Chain A
Amino acid sequence: MSSVIKIENVTKIYENGALGLKDFSLDIEKGEFVFIVGQSGSGKSTFMRILLKEIEPTTGDVFIDNTELSLLKRKKVPYLRRKLGCVFQDFRLLPSKTVYENVAFAMQVVESSNRNIRRSVPQVLSLVGLHKKAKSYPDQLSGGEKQRVAIARAIINKPPILLADEPTGNLDPDTAWEIMELLKEINSRGTTVVMATHAKDIVNKMRKRVVHIENGVLISDVAEGGYDDEV
């Protein structure tokens, strides 16, 4: 099995001296579902941002789909991001666009044909269970529905990897669990899911691979683990 994400001895020290990650290595294989857990400021966000090439590691190499990120030119970054679907805690939907338009937007950006857009968007919307809300605007939706729209937008271009940064952070437990079911469904279709969270109950219940980061250091990496498992 080839690694979709491969991180080798990455250290990130911010310009103000703060430590992001310290000698961090991680392999994620295709089709895996990985939780990245740790307290706020532990380095989860640094990890995510390095994957998106928002920031550069101070030392170490990062490979995504066998592409070394430090060798990637700035102009090529958009093409990297097309391999990484992103879901955020705050949804980041465009309030002026309908649900349909928000999802279609991601396809327009990668210059898909209109025919393709018309075919794919309803499919994805029915996958996330929002096909009846296609014409609604984000502020007419509940939090869970908004996150579903965000997930639909993240997977519409069929990226090999889905990065979810605290996708359930703003949701009540029931809704959060619905989102997790959805992510599990997406994962079962072959997409690698990397989810940063500190929702203990979800992690414990899912029994997936858990990577624990504390103060920028990887302290545990357990397959089918729980939140508090130690190596």
Chain B
Amino acid sequence: MRFRTLKYHFGQGVRGMVKNGFMSLAAIATVIACSFILILSLCVCMNIDYILKQFEENIGITVFLGPDVDEKMTDEIGERIRNIDHVTEAVYKSADDNLTSAIDSWENASILEGLREDNPLPASFEIKLEGAKYQDSVVAELEALQLSVESELNAEPDNTERIYLDNNGNRISKEQAESLGIVGSEETTAEKGGDTATEVITAAAKADAAVPAQNSQAEAEPAPPPEITQQNAQPAAQTQPAAQTPDQTQTPAQTQTPAQTQTPAQTPAQNTQQTTVQTDPNAEAVMPEDSAEGATYSSAPSEDLMNTIMSAVNATAGGGGYYIPASSTTDGGVAGTDLYDAKLYGSDEYEYKGIEKIRHATEESHMLVRINTAVRIFSIIIMIILCIISVSIIMNTIRLTVVIRKNEINIMKYVGATDWFIRWPFIIEGMLMGFIGSFISTVICFFGYSECLHLLSEKLPVISNIAKFIGAFEIFAYIAPIALLFGVLLGIIGSVSSIRKYLRV
């Protein structure tokens, strides 16, 4: 198109708009209304997105380190965590750091101050992700890391202190244990398995749910019996859960055979144990790969059942630790196993060496991802509906201005004007009206939005504690071009579709 033609079209477009003043005003008002709604919904959607992102960032993963991780190991673990895809940062928190922050978050912190001497808290890595949707894959990676760290640690000579419990779960000396006949079994184990690291645990009559998790030597972590729901297919396992414990302790790194460490105190469970041992290979094959299964346990078994389990249960644990299943986690300030999906190897509270525990909020992150997807879909649908409505309104408005110029179009056709020559002035007119309309509503919305932000921060400061909103300039840097483009497109589509009918002469 030649420049003078463009100039001509532009002049005609402007003239057309001015000449049909009333109709143009109506069309502009329509565009203002439509883009106003568009901008409002964009503001809402973008802010929801923004706030969700803030929440997502807060849902990180915490990795707790075991006591036997030295500085070099810590650095290496940190490095390996940072190398996992979608991990944005991994901040090391020493045990002291964790205690300090625990003290800070408590009102009557003086109670905790006493722990300074003998800090029960573990060191940890606070891991942040790119988004909640990566949580699952990162957790899987971390679990793999957990396994490999443990096997590395196990490769080193084991000098773990052995702990003995009597039927009541109390610690007893080695001599006492021997007198109870516990050590005898151990020796059998040692002979057969050839592993000096074996620990011998008696059948504990009761597991104390309050035993602190962060015992530096060995942890008596109460947890629900995981196998009850997991191995429904095995009736024997359900009725006599004690028999299941040995397979929970199987790790790739372990060399001992837990079944052989059963003490005489466990005789009631002995019969069924045979069955369990046979099922072991199964359990072994499944668990290391898919530890998620191990985490789907019923979190609140009945008291009766618990007691049965406790009285019968005990087995050795891999390498340096042992465990006692119980009904709740003892994990720092975290309450409720249903909230924090403590995925532990084979058992719910199995303590790994190296990386003791991976704490993450699967359900919350899944929920956030779902909300986010829902919000996106919803806003896209709203936008599409809005666009359709706007286009139809603007089409009707512009059609009126086109009808007025039906004769003009007709004459142009007879004189030999091409379709595009006829269209251009209308397109430019539509563009102008669309631009003016969307510009006006952008300006209105900009001031409205910044005023809203101002009022919110002034009158309702509480809200800014919960979530931050996007600043007026930042959000309108995105919205203004979209709104203007929307207005211009609206005008163009409206004009082009309106004159189509009259071009057929």
A residues engaging B (CB < 8 A)?
Answer: 52, 54, 75, 78-82, 86, 92-94, 96, 105-106, 108-111, 113-114, 153, 157
Contact = CB atoms under 8 A, between A and B. Distances in A.
Contacts of B413: 78, 81
Contacts of A78: 413, 416-419, 421
B4 A86 contact: no
A196 B421 CA distance: 30
Given A82-B415, A92-B410, A108-B8, 6 more contacts: A80-B416, A81-B416, A92-B411, A105-B412, A109-B421, A111-B2
Given A54-B505, A114-B4, A79 B407 contact: no
A110 B416 contact: yes
B191 interface: no
Nearest to A110: B416
B408 interface: yes
B5 to A, nearest CB: 5
A79 B505 CA distance: 14
Contact of B415 (A75, A96, A113, A153): A153
B416 to A, nearest CB: 4
20 contacts: A75-B419, A78-B413, A78-B416, A78-B418, A78-B419, A79-B416, A81-B413, A81-B415, A82-B416, A86-B415, A92-B410, A93-B411, A105-B411, A105-B412, A109-B412, A109-B415, A110-B415, A111-B421, A113-B4, A157-B416
A81 B414 contact: yes
Contacts of A96: 19
B416 A109 contact: yes
Nearest to B7: A114
Nearest to B4: A114
Contacts of B5: 111
A67 to B, nearest CB: 14
A97 to B, nearest CB: 9
A36 B223 CA distance: 106
Contacts of A75: 418-419
A113 B414 CA distance: 20
Interface of B: 2, 4-5, 8, 19, 407-408, 410-419, 421, 505
A54 B421 CA distance: 19
Q: Report, nearest first, the 7 A-B pairs whose CB atoms are least far apart.
A: A82-B416, A81-B416, A109-B417, A106-B415, A78-B418, A78-B416, A86-B414
A82 B413 CA distance: 10
Q: By CB atoms of chain A within 10 A, which of B8, B411, B413, B416 has the most?
A: B416
Contact of B414 (A52, A79, A108, A114): A52
B407 A92 contact: yes
Contacts of B19: 96
A94 B411 contact: yes
A38 B486 CA distance: 56
Contacts of A52: 414
A111 to B, nearest CB: 5
B140 to A, nearest CB: 61
Contacts of A79: 416
A105 B411 CA distance: 10
A225 B407 CA distance: 37
A111 B415 CA distance: 12
Nearest to B8: A108
Nearest to A109: B417
A157 B408 CA distance: 18
Contacts of B419: 75, 78
B430 to A, nearest CB: 19
A94 B416 contact: no
Q: By CB atoms of chain A within 10 A, which of B19, B407, B411, B421 has the most?
A: B411
B85 to A, nearest CB: 55
Nearest to B12: A108
A26 B7 CA distance: 44
Contacts of A94: 407-408, 411
Q: By CB atoms of chain A within 10 A, which of B5, B8, B415, B418 has the most?
A: B415
Contacts of A157: 415-416
A110 B505 CA distance: 17
A72 to B, nearest CB: 13
Nearest to B421: A109
Contacts of A82: 415-416
A105 B417 CA distance: 10
A60 to B, nearest CB: 22
Contacts of B4: 111, 113-114
A94 B405 CA distance: 9
A162 B204 CA distance: 115
A54 B503 CA distance: 12
B165 to A, nearest CB: 94
B415 A105 contact: yes
B407 to A, nearest CB: 7
Contacts of A110: 415-417
B126 to A, nearest CB: 67
Contacts of A111: 2, 4-5, 421
B158 to A, nearest CB: 88
A123 to B, nearest CB: 18
Contacts of B416: 78-82, 106, 109-110, 157
B19 to A, nearest CB: 7
B423 to A, nearest CB: 12
Contacts of A108: 8
A11 B414 CA distance: 24
A63 B116 CA distance: 106
